[in-house]
Amino acid sequence: MSETSLDAGFFVRWLTAAAASVEREADRLTELDSAIGDADHGSNLRRGFAAVAGTLEGEPPGTPGAVLAAAGRQLISTVGGASGPLYGTLLRRTGKALGDADRVTAEDLRAALRAGVDGVAQLGGSAPGDKTMLDALDPAVEALGGSFRAAAEAAAQGALATVPLRARKGRASYLGERSIGHQDPGAASSALLFAALAETAEKEGAE
């Protein structure tokens, strides 16, 4: 993993794969949000990631940090719900932490994503255990020290582990006890982002 070197193109391919995955899974995300929210998470993210993919398709920025920053800005400007600014912050902060390097290592990415996830926690006033996207993002970044696949698995497990939790942040928290027994939609979409990262890395022999 320490040998891995990721360029701007890798980040474009990751986010394009993430957009395709969000598109495929949008109905499921909205279904999860209809149980404990307002049934718009899938459509919010579909719109946001389609805009990200569109932006990156033309003339993508030349560094990993700039790709992530541009994607984050798109999410913030196109997603109306809470998840837009939160995912936008995740990508912008991660991009900022990568600086203007042409290539970054997997360890650089892990450290930068840590800064990004901390930014989400700060903006949301939330912590792991609150039944939000952080319950997938936080363990994923921890596991990234192992491999991209380990991070994807940790995110998926973290998302499933939100089912028995009571929501303490976001719209689902209005339901109190009734939020128990449902998977958090944002944790489910975070798992998709890390699955797309692992797929992209494995396809390119970066593990």
x/- site string to ligand ADP, residues 61 to 100, per CB under 6 A?
--------------------xxx--x--------------
Given candidates 21, 116, 186, 194, which one binds ligand ADP under the rule CB under 6 A?
186
First to last CA, the chain: 6
Residue ranges of alpha helices (H) inside the chain are 8-36, 41-57, 64-78, 83-98, 106-124, 134-143, 148-160, 185-203
Residue 186 touches which of ligand ADP, Mg ion, none (Cβ within 5-8 Å per kind):
ligand ADP
Q: Check residue 128 for interaction with ligand ADP (CB under 6 A).
A: no
Q: How far is the CB of 131 from ligand ADP (least distance, A)?
A: 8
Q: How far is the CB of 81 from Mg ion (least distance, A)?
A: 5
Q: Which of residues 150-169 bind ligand ADP (CB under 6 A)?
A: 169
Q: Any idea which residue has 């909205």 for tokens?
A: 30
Give the 3-state secondary structure of residue 104: strand
Nearer residue to ligand ADP within complex by CB, 72 or 81: 81
Cα–Cα distance measured from residue 38 to residue 9, given in angstroms and rounded to the nearest whole number: 35
Crossing angle (nearest 10°) for helices 83-98 and 64-78: 160
Cα–Cα distance measured from residue 25 to residue 167, given in angstroms and rounded to the nearest whole number: 22
Given candidates 6, 12, 14, 40, which one binds Mg ion under the rule CB under 5 A?
40
Nearer residue to ligand ADP within complex by CB, 95 or 119: 119
Q: How far is CA 47 from CA 7, 80, 109, 133, in A?
A: 26, 10, 26, 18
Given candidates 11, 22, 41, 152, which one binds ligand ADP under the rule CB under 6 A?
41
Q: Which of residues 95-124 bind ligand ADP (CB under 6 A)?
A: 120, 124
Using only C-alpha atoms, the chain has a radius of gyration, in whole angstroms, of 16
Q: How far is the CB of 157 from ligand ADP (least distance, A)?
A: 16
Burial class (CB in 10 A: 0-12, 13-18, 19+), 39: middle
Q: Contact residues for Mg ion (CB under 5 A)?
A: 33, 37-38, 40-41, 81
Q: Contact residues for ligand ADP (CB under 6 A)?
A: 33, 37-38, 40-41, 44, 81-83, 86, 120, 124-126, 132-134, 169-171, 184-187
